[in-house]
Amino acid sequence: MALIWQVLKSKFGLVTLRAANSGKSAQRSLGESATVVRKRVAFAALHHRDFRMYFVTTMLAMMADNIEHVISYWVIFQAFRSPVLGGFAVLSHWTPFLLFSVYFGALADRFDCRRVIQTAQIMYMGVSLAWGLLFLTNTIQVWHAVVLLIVHGMAGVLWGPGSQLLIHDIVGSEHLQSAVRLNATGRQLGVLLGPAVGGGLMLLLGPPVGLFVNVLIYLPLTLWLLKVPYTGHSQRAGAGRRGQGLGLKDALELLREVSGNRKILSMVLLAGSSSLLVGSAFQAQMPEYADDLGTDKEGFGYSALLAANAAGAVVGGLMLEGRGFLQPRVRTAIIYTILWCLAIGGFAAASNYLLAVVLLFLAGICNLTFFSMAQTLVQLEAPPNLRGRLIGLFHMSSSGLRAFSGVTVGVLGGLIGVHWSLGLSAMALLAVTIALLAFSIPASGD
């Protein structure tokens, strides 16, 4: 870890933050300009030792999540060859975000976020262990798969709000944008590495042993949380509030409580509309896009299309952090959403394979930029006693509504073709995004 930190410092010219504490008089004389300089420090969140550890352990946990997907989905397909079960796997992953995000955000407000995250990680490890035992004994049945897929989805939604409150506690408001962006980059790195590592474990050790090894990859985050002092609540006053509902009614009540803050409303609506209309549903249709683009039959071209989006997010996150670009602003988040719409629409219309890969790569950069910025703004603007619930609401909007993007892109694609359905969905989102830009202007101030 220390070696990685030294390389980043030498490559991007990182500066330490100790000079910022040289004296109160010096801070007052510098004024706002000093604040701007500190905010633009490259990889600012990585100056916090504890965040560096959280970044690495979270990336490993996210990689383990995707390793489990790769191995379990393969064995489920081989055992049952059921498209219905495959569709249920997608629904079970996203629907819990829609139903329980606000409630689990309230739990993160009330309880020690370290324990909330550890509970989610134990659920993940239990699922991997159960998959491995069922595959090893060849006793897997459909109901086993249904239960394990549901538990896995619940673990994902439980992890989210507590994770965001914890990084806010570690780095504070000043470096929150950097922390959110790096956390999203680490997750995308896990998404990018997961299939490769999962495939390697499956080939070298077999599915059951590969899943047993995967349990160990979850462990570093769980063990690290045993020794750190952060609860997710240290930097805010007052106790959290208990959420009374589990779904739409509680979410609407929460929106009413913050209805005067256009920044929060516009970012929640931005995340929700992008997930509802486009989301990640086009990835499920990638085999058809690859076939239409005339890629190789061995699958390399198809794999490159799948990897291009995640690679763009990783590279984009590192580039933006390396230069300290793009402070969290409503207008900037909306502009990058517009650029994302254009990139996705261009991919839908592309007839050249190389152009399609480039557009997906650019889309990954834009997606990470607007998503991390929107989440940062929600956290910064949220009243301290509602922060966990509002993060849960954001996750409900940004992740839960992805369950319905299969309709706007997938079902509609069955009627008019996946290229037309994705292109029209991207243009519909473009229109909504432009309307949100007009809505947010009176309160954005940026």
pLDDT tens for residues 162-194? 888 898 889 888 888 788 888 888 877 887 788
Whether 118 has a pLDDT exceeding 50, the answer reads yes
Q: Kindly state the average pLDDT of the residues 286-314.
A: 72
| Predicted pLDDT at 14 | 41
Q: Look at 172 and 119; give whichever has higher pLDDT.
A: 119
- Whether the predicted model's global pTM rises above the 0.85 cut: no
CATH architecture of 1-12+42-231: Up-down Bundle (1.20)
Q: What are phi and psi of 318, to 5 degrees?
A: -70, -40
To the nearest 10 degrees (0 to 180), the angle between helices 207-224 and 49-80 is 160
Confidence of residue 33 (pLDDT cuts 50, 70, 90): very low
Distance of alpha carbon 310 from alpha carbon 326, whole angstroms: 20
Task: Give the largest CA-CA distance in the chain.
Answer: 71
Percent of the chain with pLDDT over 90: 27
> Stretch 340-367: mean pLDDT, rounded?
92
* Residue 272 pLDDT > 70: yes
DSSP state of 299: S
Q: Which of 17-31, 80-94, 108-122, 226-240 has the highest mean pLDDT?
A: 108-122
User: What is the reported pLDDT for 391?
Assistant: 83
* pLDDT confidence of residue 323: 65
Least confident of 2-11, 159-168, 317-326, 432-441: 2-11
DSSP 268-293: HHHHHHHHHHTTTHHHHTHHHHHHHT
Matching residue, tokens 């959403």: 337
Residue 115 has pLDDT above 80, yes or no: yes
Report the C-alpha gap between 363 and 386 in whole angstroms: 32
* Cβ contacts of 240 within 8 Å, gap of 6 or more: 106, 108, 109, 110, 233, 385, 388
Phi and psi based region of residue 199 (left: phi greater than 0; alpha: psi -120 to 50; beta: remaining)? alpha
The pLDDT of residue 11 is above 70: no
User: Which distant-in-sequence residues (6+ apart) come within 8 Å of 163 by Cβ?
Assistant: 58, 113, 117, 183
| Residue bearing the bigger pLDDT, 139 or 372 | 139
* Positions of CATH 1.20.1250.20 in the chain: 1-12+42-231, 243-446
Tell me which of 116-125, 298-307, 397-406 is least confident.
298-307
Phi-psi domain of 112 (left: phi exceeds 0; alpha: psi -120 through 50; beta: other): beta
Query: What pLDDT, on the 0 to 100 scale, is given for residue 359?
Result: 94
Flag whether pLDDT at 123 surpasses 90: yes
Question: Mean pLDDT over residues 102-121, rounded?
Answer: 90
CA distances from 355 to 17, 306, 345, 367, 421 (A): 42, 14, 12, 18, 19
CATH fold of the domain at 243-446: Growth Hormone; Chain: A; (1.20.1250)
Q: What does the pLDDT average to over 40-60?
A: 85
At residue 10, the pLDDT reads: 46
CA dist 301 and 201 (Å) reads 22
- Burial class from Cβ neighbours inside 10 Å (0-12, 13-18, 19+) for residue 292 reads middle
Q: 58-79 burial string, b = 16+ CB within 10 Å, else e?
A: bbbbbbbbbbbbbbbbebbeeb
The structure tokens listed for 51 are 């965040």
pLDDT band at 250 (very low <50, low <70, confident <90, very high): low
